[in-house]
Structure 1
Amino acid sequence: MNAAPLLIDIGNSRIKWRYAEQDGMALTISELWQQCAHLPKTQRIIGCAVASVDLQAQIDQLFAHHWQASTQWLKVSRSALGIQNHYHNLNEQGPDRWAAVLGASQRFAKQNILIISAGTALVIDSLSAEGDFLGGTIAPGLGLMKATLHQATARLPLAQGQNKDFPQSTIDAIETGCLRAILGAINIAKIELAKQNQAEVKIVLFGGDAATLQALLNGKAIAVDNLVLDGLAALLAAGDGEFC
């Protein structure tokens, strides 16, 4: 029996992987190998990378050395899995965004979807019920917003505050202000997507701050794990997509 493929998602701060029904997460290359070394050796390694080219090359070398296998990396394409990509310059779009859109399209077929990556960056992408990826917005994520305020000002602290109706401390003011900025961006994107065909918009969240945002959206959003890996798995199963 052929070994299952290994799927890899290299993000800005984490490396996620999937083998058969097993998902894992590593912070470093060495930790990734510690987790994968016991897996059956496979010649099918499919990856999606948004982090540095150096890190991508290290993963290439890792599996070439230990498994004599080459890694195929996802390229953004004009269409895949019935989804049409309307991004003007495909070279500018991160493959992780494209994989997440494709993963969401498989979970929630023929629906208006906001695909929100709530990690280092806050990425809000729009997919119409007709299968058109319309584009999206990129902004600092919650942690980066707070870190930037701390670094660019003389007295604002870097601390964990609370979301309050009327903040009465500086750390709560920062926490609430950043969260309101994020919620405002989500609400505007939801309004714009609904205008496409007046259909209900489903909000799908993933990433480190997904649970925080889901709670603030009062149950009107779904938090999922490993949406990028879902997209890679769907492409592999369908024999679709472009890789290099």
Structure 2
Amino acid sequence: MRILELDAGNSRLKWRLLNNGHIVSHGFLVNSEDWQHELPKLLDQIGQVDSARAAIVSGDERFALLSAAVNQHFNVTLLKAEVKEECRGVQVAYAGLGVDRWLAMLAAHHLDWAENKEPCNKIVVSCGSAITIDLLSDSGNHFGGYIVPGVGLMKGVLHTRTAQLPMVEPEALTIMPGTSTAECINNGILAMAVAMLNSRQTQYKTACGKECTVYLTGGDATLIQPYIQGECYHHPALVMDGLSFAFEQEGR
């Protein structure tokens, strides 16, 4: 069984191909690329699939485009992941939760069993265009979370909404005080993101009286990970893994 999985985010379309449950290839397309040209080329390279499923946070128009392309190339229906109030032991805190956050929590909740670990309280963090933070108990109860601008978005806002601050492209190398305008922007934004995550980890630990583990995913995860206090794991495919869990539950 060859299954195509798609994660359509705000910045990139990530994809991977499963063959009998094993990942055989993966990659991404940047959303700014010419989709009418690049997407058909990608689907041609992937070859025939038996099923396709997707997580979409970039809007109905993007799903319609992907669905039409997948159906044209493979003659299969693109299945769309939908948030469920309770699924595979994870119970969400409120309606309207983003599907990417839900899938990441599904995957994080099941990593304990997959990796033979004791169940633990978790902070599930996606470090992308936005930074999303979700608190998840060892039993799968979602206690809510936070959504704040991501590192790149914060840099862009400083540049566009101030008269003289530059757009800083390179990644920050430290959270120490900067000695130039570019370093002050870079290091300061990274320090803000790190401080928020560490403070939430401390608060959650204090509230529940247990240690909690941070699970990071998203493009800026490797930038943030070195500064996180306590146990922290980087799982680049967390949303994709959650996509598999969600559809396995339904037998598709």
Give the letter for the 2:188 counterpart: G
More deviation, 209-218/198-207? 209-218
Alpha-carbon displacement from aligned partner over 1:139-189 (angstroms, at most 9, x marks no partner)? 000011011001110111112354352322111111121112111210222
Give the match for residue 4 of structure 2.
Answer: 6
Q: Compared with structure 1, are the counterparts of its residues 224 and 32 closer, same or farther at alpha carbon in structure 2 (3 Å cutoff)?
A: farther
Q: 1:176 to 1:83 in 2, by over 3 A?
A: same
Could you tell me which residue of structure 2 aligns to residue 95 of structure 1? Answer: 99
Q: Deviations over 1:31-51 (max 9, x none)?
A: 343233243423421111000
Q: Distance in 1 between matches of 2:207 and 2:230?
A: 23
Q: Are the aligned partners of 2:212 and 2:231 in contact in 1 as well (CA < 8 Å)? A: no
218-227 or 147-156, which moves further after superposition?
218-227
Q: How many angstroms apart in 2 are the aligned matches of 1:121 and 1:103?
A: 20
- Report what 2:116 is aligned to: none
Please give the per-residue CA displacement for 1:94-120, whole angstroms capped at 9, x wherever unaligned.
111101111111113521111111111
Residues 133 and 218 (structure 1 numbering): CA distance in 2 closer, same or farther, change over 3 Å?
Answer: closer
Consecutive unaligned residues of structure 1, counting only runs of 5 or more, are: none
Alignment-mate amino acid for residue 247 of structure 2 = L
Q: Name the SS for the 1:177 alignment partner.
A: helix
1:5 is paired with a residue of what secondary structure? Answer: strand
* Match among 62, 65, 68 for residue 72 of structure 2: 65
Partner Cα distance (1:164, 1:49) in 2: 33
Find the aligned partners of 1:186 and 1:36 in 2 and give their Cα distance.
38
**Which of 35, 57, 63 lines up with 1:56 in the alignment?**
63
Structure 1 stretch 112-121 or stretch 164-173: which is displaced more? 164-173
Whole-Å separation in 1 of the counterparts to 2:247 and 2:198: 34
Q: CA RMSD in A?
A: 2.0
Moved over 6 A (4+): none
Q: Deviations over 1:47-100 (max 9, x none)?
A: 11000321111001101212221111111111111111112xx2x211111011
Percent sequence identity is 29
Shift in Å at residue 220 of structure 1? 4.0
Q: Please, what TM-score do these two structures have when normalized by structure 1?
A: 0.89
**Equivalent in 16, 19, 25 of residue 17 of structure 2:** 19
Structure 2: runs of 5+ lacking an equivalent: 114-118
1:230 is aligned, of 216, 235, 241, to 241
